[in-house]
Each structure stands twice: as structure tokens, then as C-alpha cells.
């Protein structure tokens, strides 16, 4: 496991300010969907009990339905865990000198990119939708002059405050970069 | 000259094999997920708790399902003419 205080290629004097994950409501939405999927076999079971009582007497069919139900729950659990892994491993880290973006695109498919704070040209916040407005989360776009033209922090909490913090650190980084003696 | 093919009557055991395949897939994907969380995740309570919760729930689910499946009769023929009895009422 990685330390929260260390970054890849850690520089002397560099301090981690904060890590950004997706807002908990984004996780809640995903789990709500899977919870509904969890209820479907239970609902079907009650439906069978109410409408096709003769069906319950058929041992062969009950065996098949039991196996299919168990396979369904096994796959559901592993898919929830996979979705959690992919979302939890999407992390954006802000330090006193740079921003590090870590995106988990799939199994064995990961992108880690970074940009120096003095390269930041523009920070844009996008809060789109009812829930994003109510729960205060949104996308943060960072326009840069580096190799990666645009960094996107997806569905991060408090995007406005985060943008302000990035701009403050960016100004300090530009000052230090232009006058290394400071 | 000729030979007779042995009579092959599939039983419900094919569903048991299908279940075991699903368990194998579940274990492999679960281990890959845990590997990613351990290698790339932060050392935090959230990460550790989620891994522990998954392992606990997965163990309970597999244990419970095997206990249920062991009690079933797998020697019934797969192509049972009465399998759809009661499903459709005309």
C-alpha cells in the first residue's frame, strides 16, 4: 500500500496538501444501483410464491433456480467490488509543487500523470445536475502548458474551494519558479 | 460390425459445474481486485476495511451457497419432461 504522505518521485521539501477522491454521493449512486439489482431475485422469488405455487413443488426447476440465483449474487458482489476498486483508485493529489493524477482505467490499466503547479494556466469548475449542486461536487478542469493539456478531477467534493486552493498554490509556485532565491 | 454409443443422459450436475466455474471466476477477479487495492491503494482504514469486508462477505456467501448446494439432488435428469409443469397455465 502507498503512504498518503509520499508521492512518486518525491522531491525534497515537497508537502502533500490533500488528496481528492470522487464525492461519496457518486459511490452511493453506484451502490444504490447494485442494491436494486440485489433485490431483483428476492422480488422474483416472492412473485413465484404468490403466482406459481406449483412451481415450488418441482424439485429440478428449484435446483436450477437456486444455482442461477447463487451465481447471480456471486457475480453481483464481484462487480460491486470491481467498480469500487476502479473508482477508489482514481486519486488526484495536490502538493506544494505539483498535481499528480492517478487513474485506474481497468485491470492492469493505469495512468499516472503529473504537472508542475507553475504550469497551470487556468482552472475551471463544472457543477452539472441537481445532485451535484445539492451535494456540492463537480468536475475540476486544469488547463496547463505541459504535455498533458488538460487535467480533469472527476466529481470531486467542494470544487470551488479546491479551485481556489489550486490557484493560491499556483501563484506561490510561479513566484518561486520565477525567483528561485525566494 | 458396429459399436453402440454409451447412453448419455445429462443430469442437473451441469449446473453444479457452472456454479463452480462462477466461483472460480469470482475468486480470480476478487484476488485481482485485492492485488490492485494493496498495490495502488493508500494505507488507510477505508481501504483495509473494504478489503476485509469483501473477504468476509465472499467467504460467507461461498460457504452458505456450498452448504445449500450440497443438500440438493444432482442426479435428476436435466431434460425432465415435467420441468415446466405449473409454469404456464393455458
Could A66 and B68 be called an inter-chain contact, meaning their C-beta atoms sit closer than 8 Å? Answer: yes
Structure confidence at residue B86 as a pLDDT band (50, 70, 90)? low
Q: What is the pTM of this model?
A: 0.84
Task: Judge whether residue B6 has pLDDT over 70.
Answer: no
Query: Distances in Å between the alpha carbon of A31 and those of A6, A90, A125, B75?
Result: 30, 17, 26, 39
pLDDT digits (tens, 9 = 90+) for B20-74: 999 999 999 999 999 999 999 988 999 999 999 999 999 999 999 999 988 888 8
pLDDT in tens, A48-99: 888 887 777 788 888 888 999 999 999 999 999 999 999 999 999 999 888 9
A104/B40 touch (CB, cutoff 8 Å), yes or no: yes
Query: What are the pLDDT digits (tens) for A91-146?
Result: 999 998 889 999 999 999 999 988 888 888 889 999 999 999 999 999 999 988 76
pLDDT at A175 over 90: no
Q: How confident is the model at residue B8 (pLDDT cuts 50, 70, 90)?
A: low
Q: Choose between B41 and A175: higher pLDDT.
A: B41
pLDDT of the residue at A7: 74
Among candidates A155, A137, A136, A144, which has minimal Cα distance to A99? A144
CB A127 within 8 A of CB A140: no
Residues of B in contact with A70 (CB under 8 A): 19, 22, 65, 68-69
pLDDT of residue B5: 66
A13-50 burial code (b ≥16 CB/10 A, e <16)? eeebeeebbbbebbbeeeeeeeeeeeeebeeeeeebee
Closest CA to A154 of A173, A140, A169, A168: A140
Whether A88 contacts chain B with CB within 8 A: yes
Contact B38 A89 (CB under 8 A): no
Task: Assess whether pLDDT exceeds 60 at residue B88.
Answer: no
A61 in reach of chain B (CB within 8 A): yes
CA–CA gap between residue A103 and residue A93 (Å, rounded): 11
Which is nearest to A41 in space by CA: A61, A59, A65, A58? A65
C-alpha cell at A127: 457543477
Helices (H), chain A: 24-51, 59-88, 130-134, 159-178
Q: Comparing C-alpha atoms, which of B7, B14, B11, B10 is closest to residue B75?
A: B11
**Residue B90: predicted pLDDT:** 47
Amino acid at each position: 500500500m502507498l503512504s498518503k504522505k509520499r508521492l512518486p518521485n518525491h522531491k525534497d521539501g515537497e508537502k502533500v496538501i490533500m488528496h481528492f477522491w470522487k464525492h461519496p454521493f457518486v459511490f452511493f449512486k453506484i451502490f444504490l444501483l447494485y442494491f436494486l439489482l440485489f433485490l431483483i431475485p428476492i422480488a422474483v422469488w416472492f412473485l413465484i410464491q404468490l403466482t406459481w405455487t406449483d412451481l415450488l413443488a418441482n424439485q429440478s426447476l428449484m435446483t436450477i433456480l437456486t444455482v442461477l440465483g447463487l451465481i447471480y449474487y456471486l457475480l453481483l458482489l464481484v462487480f460491486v467490488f470491481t467498480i469500487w476498486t476502479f473508482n477508489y483508485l482514481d486519486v488526484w493529489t495536490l502538493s506544494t509543487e505539483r498535481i499528480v493524477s492517478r487513474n485506474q482505467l481497468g485491470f492492469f490499466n493505469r495512468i499516472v500523470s503529473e504537472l508542475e503547479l507553475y504550469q497551470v494556466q487556468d482552472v475551471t469548475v463544472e457543477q452539472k445536475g441537481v445532485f451535484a449542486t445539492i451535494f456540492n461536487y463537480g468536475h475540476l478542469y486544469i488547463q496547463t502548458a505541459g504535455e498533458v493539456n488538460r487535467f480533469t478531477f472527476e466529481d470531486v467534493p467542494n470544487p470551488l474551494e479546491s479551485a481556489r486552493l489550486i490557484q493560491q498554490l499556483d501563484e506561490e509556485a510561479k513566484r518561486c519558479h520565477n525567483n528561485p532565491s525566494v | 460390425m458396429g459399436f453402440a454409443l454409451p447412453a448419455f443422459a445429462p443430469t442437473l450436475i451441469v449446473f453444479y459445474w457452472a456454479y463452480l466455474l462462477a466461483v472460480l471466476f469470482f475468486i480470480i477477479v476478487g484476488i485481482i481486485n485485492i492485488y490492485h487495492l494493496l498495490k495502488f491503494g493508500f494505507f488507510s482504514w477505508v481501504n483495509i476495511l473494504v478489503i476485509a469486508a469483501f473477504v468476509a462477505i465472499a467467504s460467507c456467501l461461498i460457504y452458505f451457497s456450498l452448504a445449500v448446494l450440497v443438500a440438493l439432488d444432482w442426479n435428476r435428469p436435466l431434460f425432465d419432461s415435467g420441468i415446466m409443469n405449473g409454469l404456464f397455465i393455458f
